[in-house]
Structure 1
Amino acid sequence: MLGIIAAVLFLIAFLINAADISTNDTFTSTNVMLIGLTLLALHVAGIGSGWSARGRRR
């Protein structure tokens, strides 16, 4: 799930950068890209990847 959100944020960052949309200082394409990279790193680390069935094995 976090990987999909990261991909959407990368798309938004690309559109902001490609269309040269002027935004405020907080919502720049670089900041959106860094948030996407953070979510992608969390996804690769295994956080937010879904439920695990740890207690169901016998």
Structure 2
Amino acid sequence: MLAIVAAALFFIAFLIDAADISTNHVFTQTNIMLIGLTLLALHLAGVGSGWAARGRRR
């Protein structure tokens, strides 16, 4: 799920760059891309995967 959100943020950052849209200082292309990279790193680290490694159930 985090990877899908990261991909959407990368696409938004690409649209901001490609269309040359001016935004305020918070929603710049670089900030959106960094948020996407953070979400992608969390996805690769296993955060939010839904799998619990607590042990086997019998």
Q: TM-score w.r.t. structure 1 length?
A: 0.88
Runs of 4+ in 1 over 6 A off after TM superposition: none
Alignment-derived partner of residue 11 in structure 1:
11
- Map of 1:1-58 to 2, 5 A cutoff? 1-52=1-52, 54=54, 57-58=57-58
Question: Partners in 2 of 1:40 and 1:53 — Cα distance?
Answer: 21
RMSD: 1.5
Deviation at 1:25?
A: 0.8
Q: TM-score w.r.t. structure 2 length?
A: 0.88
Instruction: Indicate the SS of the match to 1:13.
Output: helix
Residue identity matched to 1:35: I
Instruction: Indicate the SS of the match to 2:6.
Output: helix
Deviation at 1:28?
A: 0.3
Paired residues in the alignment total: 58
Question: Partners in 1 of 2:25 and 2:48 — Cα distance?
Answer: 29
Unaligned runs of 5+ in 1: none
